[in-house]
Amino acid sequence: MNLVEELLSREQVEKLAKPAQVRNGEELAKAGMVELVEVNPQEVKARVKGLTPGASTRKTELVVKNGRLNWRCTCTKNPNNFCKYLVATALETWRKSP
């Protein structure tokens, strides 16, 4: 298990994201819309496609810095928003974990 996963439990995801974001992120992950680009103990980078035809692909990052989880998604400039794309990234990271 990597550090990102240790800091990002299912319970933590549900605290960070709104219920609708959790549901939508689950749909994205279940539909296979997440491509993990880089996975290491300190960082996960992914590209997440939307469900609708022609939807934009978002880039997500989950990074551990100084023992804290940080995140970023190209769907928003709000650093506090744990969006559906980040939820989908977290779910796919857990699924692919050995």
Q: Is the dihedral of CA 13, 56, 60, 81 positive or negative?
A: negative
Query: In the prediction, which pLDDT does 1 show?
Result: 44
Burial of 75 (0-12, 13-18, 19+ CB in 10 A): middle
Global pTM reads: 0.92
Give all strands (DSSP E) within 1-98, no chain letters. 34-40, 43-49, 57-65, 68-73
**Domain spans of the chain?**
3-96
Task: Read off the pLDDT of residues 18-64 as tens digits, 9 standing for 90 and up.
Answer: 999 999 999 999 999 999 999 988 999 999 999 998 899 999 999 99
The CA distance from 4 to 55, in Å, is 27
